[in-house]
Amino acid sequence: MKIYPAEKIREADRQTIQEEQISSADLMERAAKASYDWLVKSIKSFQKIAVFCGSGNNGGDGFAVARMLCEKGFQVFVFHDHSKEKISDDAKINLDKLSGTSVDLRDFSEADHFDFAETLIVDAILGTGFTGKINKKLSKVISALNKISTSKISIDIPSGMSADLPCEDTEEIFKADFTLSFQFWKRSFLHPECGKFAGNIQILDIGISKKFLQENDSDYSLIGEDLILKIFKPRNEFGNKGTFGKVMLVAGSFGKTGAAVLCTHSALKSGAGLVVTQSSSRSSDILQVSCPEAMFIGAGNWFVEKIYLDEKATFGLGPGLGTDELTEKALFFFLKNHIKPVVLDADALNILASDKKYLLFIPEKSIITPHPKEFERLFGKTSNSFERLELARKMAELFNITIVLKDHHTQIITPEKEVFYNVTGNSGLAKGGSGDILTGIITSLLAQNYTPNDAALLGVWLHGTAADLAAERLSHETMLPSDVIAELSSVFKKLNEKVTKKL
């Protein structure tokens, strides 16, 4: 699914109106009906609804939704600014339609004395067209609503939030439990500074022009199941272990053998034909007992002192590796003498960050998987996640690598500067070892002849989807990285069923 900036979304609306020869008010009615349908299906515990409407088209959506809810039998209160003289034409049409209904119209100021107990609050104050600074009256309204303890829903976007820019004054952003977004995700929903205000995102289809979607590209996309099904390769029934690639992991050191175990196990569970792990000799017993299907090479006593080259293998380096001076020298020697794409994570990235000249020796088309702090050590500080992403786009192009920028919504940035946001996964992954699993998955896919971009996209999606299944079974709090590995079986099974279904 493509992600467009606010101006492109407005262009999509205009093209839809032109192609279908409808009015903008008709499209607004369609959006309101989609919101109404979702609300009626979802708000079983509420009969009393307070809709807060601004003077623009987002307010028009709110007026229309309020009318429909009232006609359905809900007790509806609409709060808006009675003193406002300027109101958009389409909003005025829908405000006028409230005449003769039982909707209770009130001024914003009356909200101070309103009893919101057992009342659903619907925010339709400011939409995607909002820019600049919120006036004092609206700021006061939003601040007051945020303090009320009841369920809250935003229509299209939480008031005060930009669709495309970082959230600066968070005191002036409506905090929703759900956001009903029309047709598209907004980039701001996918960044931690802003996404926390949007709550659970529901994308509502309002029939935007298919021609527009076909003709308008975007550098930003969402990883959807349709993309994953195009990437995924069903297993060749006539293949052998050589067909499915050889993975060579360089991971673990004394006290961090668990990272190597998790990485090895996840590489095996992701379909690699052969997995070999280079680690400290002190880790050998644990590795061979934990992962009997893998092979082991002692590459040092307490930590990795030498990396054995194998040009037939696909390397994944970093989990639990440590940053000893001998390990650093071994990694630098390896990078200077290995030309195939590799996967670099964790301590491999920390070693690279210790001397920026090492970055020049990363093989082209490699994949790096930094979390925000690792990225900062590699490429420098940024003010927010939006700036970090733009810097990642520049670095991916400069070094001709794929960057997996780990976050709540992980971003995959290609050397072509394309960005793919992943929306699978959950807070249960916020545990040590989760990144080690991802390294194993991506390295395994790269060894199976997926392109670096596809290995990163599919790997991140598999990792998050397996985590969602683990959380559903166990809870976010109690799920472990090893539980995520176990759920990979279910994810692959479902993928195969969808891809190979013939009838």
Tell me which residue of 74, 58, 55 sits closest to 66, measured CA to CA: 74
Verify that 214 and 271 share a domain, yes or no. no
Residue 227 inside a domain? The answer is no
Residue 462 inside a domain? The answer is yes
Verify that 214 and 333 share a domain, yes or no. no
pLDDT for the residue numbered 503: 46
Q: Residue ranges of the alpha helices (H) in 199-256?
A: 210-215, 225-231
pLDDT for the residue numbered 501: 72
Are 460 and 404 contacting, i.e. CB atoms less than 8 angstroms apart? Answer: yes
Radius of gyration for the alpha carbons in the chain, expressed in angstroms and rounded: 26
- Domain with 73, as residue range(s), is 6-218
Verify that 152 and 266 share a domain, yes or no. no
Are 251 and 436 contacting, i.e. CB atoms less than 8 angstroms apart? Answer: yes
In angstroms, the CA 87 to CA 22 distance is 21
Burial of 15: CB neighbours in 10 Å, binned 0-12, 13-18, 19+:
middle
In angstroms, the CA 424 to CA 461 distance is 6
Residue 356 inside a domain? The answer is yes
Verify that 280 and 191 share a domain, yes or no. no
Mean pLDDT taken over the chain? 95
In sequence order, what are the residues at sequence separation of 6 or more whose Cβ sits closer than 8 angstroms to the Cβ of residue 237? none
- What confidence tens digit (pLDDT) does each residue in 149-182 have? 999 999 999 999 999 988 876 778 999 999 999 9
Verify that 338 and 437 share a domain, yes or no. yes
In angstroms, the CA 462 to CA 434 distance is 12
Backbone angles phi, psi at 398, to 5 degrees: -60, -45
Q: How is residue 183 written in tokens?
A: 């047709």
Largest CA distance in the chain: 83
In angstroms, the CA 32 to CA 178 distance is 16
Verify that 203 and 254 share a domain, yes or no. no
Three-state secondary structure string covering 421-475:
ECCCCCHHHCCCCHHHHHHHHHHHHHHCCCCHHHHHHHHHHHHHHHHHHHHHHHC
In angstroms, the CA 198 to CA 189 distance is 6
DSSP states along 248-286: EEE---TT-HHHHHHHHHHHHHTT-SEEEEEE-GGGHHH
Domain termination residue (choose one: 203, 218, 233): 218
In sequence order, what are the residues at sequence separation of 6 or more whose Cβ sits closer than 8 angstroms to the Cβ of residue 501? none
pLDDT < 50 regions, the chain: 503
Q: How is residue 33 written in tokens?
A: 């009906």
Are 365 and 415 contacting, i.e. CB atoms less than 8 angstroms apart? Answer: yes
Structural domain count, the chain: 2
Verify that 87 and 189 share a domain, yes or no. yes
* CATH code of 74's domain: 3.40.50.10260
Are 78 and 99 contacting, i.e. CB atoms less than 8 angstroms apart? Answer: no
Are 397 and 417 contacting, i.e. CB atoms less than 8 angstroms apart? Answer: yes
Give the global pTM.
Answer: 0.94
Verify that 303 and 187 share a domain, yes or no. no
pLDDT for the residue numbered 460: 98
* CATH code of 256's domain: 3.40.1190.20
Are 128 and 9 contacting, i.e. CB atoms less than 8 angstroms apart? Answer: yes
Cα 314 to Cα 238, 244, 497, distances in angstroms:
22, 11, 28
Residue 444 inside a domain? The answer is yes
Cα 165 to Cα 130, 169, 309, 396, 458, distances in angstroms:
11, 12, 45, 22, 28
Verify that 346 and 426 share a domain, yes or no. yes
Verify that 273 and 421 share a domain, yes or no. yes
pLDDT for the residue numbered 502: 56
In angstroms, the CA 233 to CA 499 distance is 8
In sequence order, what are the residues at sequence separation of 6 or more whose Cβ sits closer than 8 angstroms to the Cβ of residue 289? none
Verify that 446 and 485 share a domain, yes or no. yes
For residue 271, how many other CB atoms are within 10 A of its CB?
A: 18
Three-state secondary structure string covering 92-146:
HHHHHCCCCCCCEEEEHHHHHHCCCCCEEEEEECCCCCCCCCCCHHHHHHHHHHH
β-pairing verdict for 411-413 and 419-421: antiparallel
Verify that 294 and 214 share a domain, yes or no. no
Nearest-5° Cα angle at 19, 18 to 21: 60
In angstroms, the CA 318 to CA 349 distance is 7
Residue 231 inside a domain? The answer is no
3-class SS of residue 78: strand
